[in-house]
Amino acid sequence: MMKPYREIAKITEPMRKFQEQWAEQARAIQKAIEPTLELQKKLAEPLKDFQKSFENISKIYSSIPKFENPFLEHLETFKEIGERLKEYTKKTPEYFLLIAQHGWFIDLESELNFPSIVAHRIQEKKVDTANELLVNYYKTNVGRIFESLIKRHYNRIEILESIKKSYEEGNHILLIPAVLTQVDGICFDFTKKKFFIKEKKNEKYKFLPEVIAELEKSAGNFLELYLSPLQNQTPIMAREQDVGMFPCKLNRHKVLHGISTDYGTEINSLKVISLLKYVSDLLTDLDNKTLSTIE
């Protein structure tokens, strides 16, 4: 689950250490072969003269393999990989948050480069193109997504199957509130805390989902890459008075309290489905590995 996303988090630190080891070995080998390289250089001119007298000497000499340092060659490859991983870990939280501020959440079973592709479209002011990419992705994968959700949250099978049927029938007005309740529900199943109940006592998490404290406690280094949408305000969970600051106006409070009446569209259905899948990905993966047991 959540591969290849979690694998990136696992290999970043070992890769950095591996690069350092390769660099140290390469320096040692380079120092050790310096006399050989110097001798090879000194022999070059005499061999040229020798070649004039003996026509075939060049063929013999060329058949002798020259010493090469494979460590240095591979070191450059690992260095390039390391730089790309460093860039990935730096940019991914930014991409996830930017996308969430436009109402979408990334499926952690999608391709690794998908968030960057979408985020770049948004940064280029091509929001319609970004929305089109996300709509196409979730429409294409909605069947697989509900299969995963039902398998993970089997105690909610009737509700999830009804939500899936509502999507297939285009009943977005009923689907969206139902999905939002299930986001709270699956959070409660795993942590005994809810997603849309805001933390008010702890200043660090004020007005953020109360579940974030439990996720932070369990996520470790994994947190730095994929939890940014939960560590910051996004339109779906913002206070009613703060929704206007976001490009997306879909807001849980306004939907469930009857304030919004024009929310029932397919794109909004896909947005809340993306949220449900994202939260499910985090909770089930962390539960399988590190999530604290709640009594």
One domain for residues 256 and 116 = yes
Cis peptide bond prior to 247, omega within 30° of 0: no
**Is residue 114 assigned to a domain?**
yes
Identify whether 145 is part of a domain.
yes
Q: What is the end-to-end Cα distance of the chain in Å, rounded?
A: 25
Whether 291 shows a pLDDT value over 50: the answer reads: no
Residue pair 17/10 in contact (Cβ under 8 Å)? The answer is no
* Among 275, 234, 236, CA closest to 255: 236
Question: In this structure, are 101 and 60 located in the same domain?
Answer: no
Phi, psi (deg, nearest 5) at residue 261: -120, -5
Are 30 and 117 part of one and the same domain?
Answer: no
Amino acid identity, residue 266?
E
* Full residue range of the structural domain in which residue 48 is found: 9-80
Assigned domain for 86 exists: no
Q: What is the pLDDT of residues 1-49, one digit of tens each?
A: 565 666 665 665 566 566 666 667 667 666 765 665 565 565 555 545 5
Confidence band of 227 (pLDDT split at 50, 70, 90) = confident
Do 105 and 118 touch, CB atoms closer than 8 A? no
Q: pLDDT of 86-109, one tens digit each?
A: 777 889 999 999 999 999 999 999
What local confidence, expressed as pLDDT, does residue 84 receive? 72
What are 102-142's pLDDT values in tens digits? Answer: 999 999 999 999 999 999 999 999 999 999 999 999 999 99
Tell which wins on pLDDT, 221 or 229.
229
In the listed set 80, 112, 132, which residue is the last one of a domain according to the structure? 80
Query: What is the chain written as a DSSP string?
Result: --TTHHHHHHHHHHHHHHHHHHHHHHHHHHHHHHHHHHHHHHHHHHHHHHHHH-TTHHHHHHHSPPP--HHHHHHHHHHHHHHHHHHHHHHHHHHHHHHHTTT----TTS-TTHHHHHHHHHHTT-HHHHHHHHHHHHHHHHHHHHHHHHHHTGGGHHHHHHHHHHHHTT-HHHHHHHHHHHHHHHHHHHHS--SSSBB-S-GGGBTSBTTHHHHHHHHGGGHHHH-HHHHS--TTTS-GGGGGGSS----HHHHHTT--SS---HHHHHHHHHHHHHHHHHHHHHHHHTPPPP-
Asked whether residue 119 falls in the same domain as residue 74, the answer is no
Q: Which of 80, 115, 141 represents a domain boundary (last residue)?
A: 80
Domain count, the chain: 2
Residue 3 lies in a domain: no
Same domain assignment for residues 31 and 102: no
Could you give the C-alpha distances from 128 to 91, 121, 125, in angstroms and in order? 22, 9, 9
Residue environment code for 124-157, b if the CB has 16+ CB neighbours within 10 A, otherwise e: eeeeeebbebbeebbeebbeebbebbbebbeebe
What per-residue confidence (pLDDT) applies to 61? Answer: 44
Q: Residue 162: inside a domain, yes or no? A: yes
Query: How high does pLDDT run on average in the chain?
Result: 80
Residue at 232 is within a domain: yes
* Amino acid (1-letter code) at residue 13: E
Verify that 151 and 219 share a domain, yes or no.
Answer: yes
For the stretch 172-218, pLDDT in tens is 999 999 999 999 999 999 888 888 766 666 656 555 676 766 676 66
Segment 233-258 shows an average pLDDT of 94
For residues 53 and 166, membership in a common domain is answered with: no
CA distance 27 to 215: 43
4 occurs within a structural domain: no
pLDDT at 132: 98
Residues 263, 134: one domain?
A: yes
Q: How far is Cα 74 from Cα 69, in angstroms, rounded to an integer?
A: 9
